[in-house]
Amino acid sequence: MYSACGERELKTLLAIKPGDTIVDVARKIDENRETIRRAVDRLEDEGYVEYADGLSVVDESVREAGIQFLAASAGVSPPSISKGYVLPHFAGMDFAYTGIDAVYVWTQGGYQVARSPDDYPLFIGVKEADLTEWEQFFDLFGIPVSQERQPLDESDESLQIVLETRQSIDAEMVEGHPVIALEETVEFAREHYATFQSALSMLDRMYDQVDSDAEYHR
């Protein structure tokens, strides 16, 4: 496996959910499609993944070992903000971006607000039944986790994870990112109109079903 397992191969292996295509995986980890195709070819040659009606990992224990390796690496080099968006794909559990991040994803990165490199909460919706496992997952990487945004002066880390529990996760995919429905995202933006007025206008231009008329101003 040494010959096959570079950084991209490891990320590819960890990001795969049964039935994924190469394009799906590439979008999840923000890599070029051809780069991931070559990584998949190497992993398939070594017998770690199969490609039949989509990708699948042959041995889940390899994924678990990969997570432990990444976690150990995080102790030397803490995850950046960009890697914070990749890590949830490695957990093997359903999730969807919510709140500020739902707006960020649906605007395809075009609208960013109320965050800075020194204070960056990442908002994720998870199944209530999976809450403890998510907390344990992010704890492996030394990333603070809570169910409410924590003040900057209460954490030594710039990146924090804010988990919103739900009975189930019904996510839509936008450029590889699972996110709550556009309708729910727009409603969130309307509820916080002063902050997301420009985002609503942007969403109105991007999606026919969005109406950002000023009547939503509260």
pLDDT per residue as tens digits for the range 44-101: 998 899 988 899 999 888 888 889 988 998 888 888 999 999 999 999 999 999 999 9
Per the listing, tokens 């496996």 go with 1
Query: Which residue would you say has higher pLDDT here, 108 or 217?
Result: 108
Residue 214: the pLDDT is 43
Fold (CATH) for 81-216: Beta Polymerase; domain 2 (3.30.460)
Residue 52: the pLDDT is 85
| CATH architecture assignment, domain 7-74 | Orthogonal Bundle (1.10)
Which of 2-16, 140-154, 190-204 is predicted with the least confidence, judged by mean pLDDT? 2-16
3-state secondary structure of 64: helix
Cα–Cα distances (Å) from 132 to 31, 42, 129, 144, in that order, read 30, 35, 8, 13
C-alpha–C-alpha distance, residues 189 and 217, integer Å:
10
Residue 157: the pLDDT is 80
pLDDT per residue as tens digits for the range 133-187: 999 999 999 999 999 998 877 777 889 999 999 999 999 999 889 999 999 999 9
Q: What is the mean pLDDT of residues 27-48?
A: 92
- Domain range annotation of the chain: 7-74, 81-216
pLDDT per residue as tens digits for the range 115-126: 999 999 999 999
C-alpha–C-alpha distance, residues 216 and 200, integer Å:
10
Closest C-alpha to 178, from 124, 117, 136: 124
Residue 211: the pLDDT is 73
